[in-house]
Amino acid sequence: MPFPKDFLWGGAFASAQFEGAWDAGGKVPSIQDFVRGSSAGKDRAFSARLHEGVYYPSHRAVDFYHHVDEDLSLLAGMGFTCLRLSIAWARIFKDAKCLVPNEEGLAFYNHIFDECGRLGMTPVVTINHFDIPMEIACKNQGFLSRSTIDLYMRFVKLIMERYRGKVRHWLPFNEINFGMMPMGAFKAQGIVPPEVAASGEWHPSHNLPVSLNDRMQALHHQFVASAQVVKLAHEIDPGNRVGCMIGHITQYPLTCDPCDVLACQENDRLINKFCGDVLARGSYPPYIRAWMSKNDVEIVEDPQDVQLIKENTIDFYAFSYYMTNCISEQFAGERVDGNLIGGLKNPHLETSEWGWQVDPCGLRFTLHELQDRYGLPLMVVENGLGARDQVSADGCIHDPYRIAYLRDHIREMRRAVDEGANVIGYTAWSPIDSVSASTGQMSKRYGMVYVDRDDEGNGDMARIKKDSYAWYRRCIESNGEAL
């Protein structure tokens, strides 16, 4: 049996995609509350003011806020031994200075963690998952301003002290590396530029007017914040463990032309390796310094940052993995979509309904790469298939495609463990359906539990177990043997 006895099996959610109750319990708005829905999943405008009669998916999402006990018991029913979820910063502080804690918000998560304890699920908490409070995003331009680090750390200190002993696994930022891409400025860094905050509408399908330099500056502030989280977590409870969370877009050279191989290496370093290298090895790697100077990127770093980042590296490496794509120097060939960025089509792979290439072997490859590079415990904190599920005439949801996807990826993960990778946990993405981050659609479903809710916000939120529910329960029960 390759998986260790204490392997963490579970699922992962993000507050803005799952909780709903966007203005209940003292919560103030976060950036996601201003992004409109769209049944086509395209041209989802963001504007700094809310419009009457418009559907905003985050406002009710799938209403976990009011289904919390039902949902936690559904998850425990699959035998989960861990649960990854994020804490909505905007639920914890009502004021943009982060001085007055919102006890109602704190009580909400306290209840979740108590229930997790009772149900035998170890919480893995993402401190910030694409949902910075709106006021901080507009006033400070998110993490572009260094002062946001202090605000964030007030939030971190409060939740770490409050949930001491109940939460031991922490992830400072979801997919921190997405700040390397133009669209990540909004989601991952919380930057709302002044012109957008003042009046303008912005379509997330267009790139935000945020320069590369500003994105790199914001990223630097997030590195400093992550290191401060590691330091604080260890001070508060030596049993705390802090990981990074990298959105791993594994890439292959399209051909064996050495130019493609080099182009692929460069892309992989920028998109995947750079952030992990800083957070796990404790300094900016030489290749990124060279790239920054070639691209005229000059960031402001405080003298103490170097030491802080060096001394406070992560305890484990966590990442999301959904798909792979190909790179060619010529950028010729058919393009495919992907998690935030697309790439070139791999003729050996099938794609999902949303054009993401399905590549279970790529997970094994990625685990080995990461093990060799960092030698840290690894956790796969997102993996899954977004698909259009249908409720059949028998009232059931038959999702053999999802079972096949999960089975094939878990099998490859098991092989990787068998071949030496130190994988400590696996959390499938959104085991109860939730709103898609990239498209805002409900119809892009990942769950083993179906939620009656559509792309326009209709439905009674009833939960129905899909076929994959029983399958995942068997998988966990057998510690990954019965696939």
Residue 356 or 471 with smaller CB distance to ligand BG6 = 356
d(CA 297, CA 105): 40
Please, which of residues 159-178 interact with ligand BG6 by CB under 6 A?
174-175
| Stretch of 47-55, 99-107, 361-369, 438-446 lying at the interface with ligand BG6 (CB under 6 A) | 438-446
**Smallest gap from residue 140 Cβ to ligand BG6 (A):** 23
Residue 140 or 436 with smaller CB distance to ligand BG6 = 436
Active site residue 382: yes
Cα dihedral: 90, 91, 92, 94 (round 10):
60
427 sits near ligand BG6 (criterion: CB under 6 A): no
Please, which of residues 310-349 interact with ligand BG6 by CB under 6 A?
320, 339
Q: What is the residue whose two structure tokens read 């098991």?
A: 414
| Stretch of 54-62, 223-231, 309-317, 432-440 lying at the interface with ligand BG6 (CB under 6 A) | 432-440
Among 123, 247, 360, 447, binds ligand BG6 (CB under 6 A): 247
3-class state of residue 338 by DSSP: coil
CB 234 within 8 A of CB 158: no
d(CA 319, CA 297): 27
**Smallest gap from residue 440 Cβ to ligand BG6 (A):** 9
Please, which of residues 103-142 interact with ligand BG6 by CB under 6 A?
none
227 sits near ligand BG6 (criterion: CB under 6 A): no
Among 318, 437, 448, 451, binds ligand BG6 (CB under 6 A): 437
Tokens linked to 367: 């685990």
* Long-range CB contacts for residues 438-441, cutoff 8 Å, separation at least 24: 438/41, 438/339, 438/340, 439/38, 439/41, 439/42, 439/44, 439/354, 440/35, 440/36, 440/37, 440/38, 440/41, 440/44, 440/57, 441/37, 441/38, 441/39, 441/41
Q: Which residues contact 456 (CB under 8 A, 6 or more apart)?
A: 37, 39, 55
Residue 320 or 479 with smaller CB distance to ligand BG6 = 320
Among 8, 10, 11, 14, binds ligand BG6 (CB under 6 A): 14
H or E segment and range at residue 108: helix 103-119
18 sits near ligand BG6 (criterion: CB under 6 A): no
Q: Which residues contact 400 (CB under 8 A, 6 or more apart)?
A: 467
**Which residues is 324 bridged to in the sheet?**
250
**Smallest gap from residue 354 Cβ to ligand BG6 (A):** 7
Among 141, 436, 468, 479, binds ligand BG6 (CB under 6 A): 436
Tokens linked to 481: 């043997």
| Stretch of 146-154, 255-263, 433-441, 464-472 lying at the interface with ligand BG6 (CB under 6 A) | 433-441
Q: Which amino acid is at 164?
A: R
Instruction: Catalytic residue, from 70, 382, 412, 419: name it.
Output: 382
Active site residue 175: yes
d(CA 409, CA 406): 5
| Stretch of 99-107, 134-142, 281-289, 434-442 lying at the interface with ligand BG6 (CB under 6 A) | 434-442
| CB-CB neighbours of 152 under 10 Å | 27
Residue 329 or 408 with smaller CB distance to ligand BG6 = 408
**Smallest gap from residue 199 Cβ to ligand BG6 (A):** 28
Residue nearest to ligand BG6 (CB): 438
Binding mask 403-422 for ligand BG6 (x = CB under 6 A): --------------------
| Stretch of 72-80, 97-105, 397-405, 430-438 lying at the interface with ligand BG6 (CB under 6 A) | 430-438
Q: Which residues contact 428 (CB under 8 A, 6 or more apart)?
A: 10, 11, 12, 382, 383, 384, 406, 446, 448, 472
Instruction: Catalytic residue, from 19, 135, 175, 412: name it.
Output: 175
d(CA 265, CA 287): 11
429 sits near ligand BG6 (criterion: CB under 6 A): yes
The alpha-helical segments, DSSP class H, found in 120-211 are 134-139, 147-162, 184-187, 194-198
**Smallest gap from residue 439 Cβ to ligand BG6 (A):** 6
Residue 232 or 428 with smaller CB distance to ligand BG6 = 428
382 sits near ligand BG6 (criterion: CB under 6 A): yes
d(CA 448, CA 429): 10
**Smallest gap from residue 218 Cβ to ligand BG6 (A):** 18
Residue 312 or 427 with smaller CB distance to ligand BG6 = 427
CB 158 within 8 A of CB 116: no
Residues that bind ligand BG6 (CB under 6 A): 14, 17, 174-175, 247, 320, 339, 382, 386, 429, 436-439, 444
Catalytic (active-site) positions: 175, 382
